[in-house]
Structure 1
């Protein structure tokens, strides 16, 4: 099962990179076919180096920023949003567990 998941994720990643490369090649072909560059058509993947040496990347015009997982985790914990379906699932699981325990105790008391 683990090998299958790994191979699937690897294949999806390779295909996604291929799509991005294809979009970039299509953009270059459109520019060559027109014979001039138009600033309204942006490249799908844009990577720039700043003066400080850091990289700025943008995919389809959306900037990609590095993020800190700890900060996101703290932000999610602070939100403490109520998930109705999660609570219903917990209640249902507790109910089924208690019913199963009662049935087991009943049959154990018979013997």
Structure 2
């Protein structure tokens, strides 16, 4: 019984040592990530407010700018109106749905005729 307990404790120590080693390796991987040279975990995300009210956000060394809603809406509308492929796919979807529903309804009517 003592032998089993000792072997279980040894396995537990090895397991926890492996977990700690893995956490250390993951932390070093975060430090070596592109654009991030600081070892402090608090400096991964930095944010500040500029004079004009816009937020300046830096995540792991990469800057992100705040765009206003009108500019995003305009970009979205130009992307949506310019895709012929999406319009063709939408028409094809409607046709396939109509055909599939017709086949299913026909099969249902056929089965209902016999029962």
Structure-1-length-normalised TM-score: 0.41
Query: Larger radius of gyration, structure 1 or 2?
Result: 2
Normalised TM-score (structure 2): 0.40
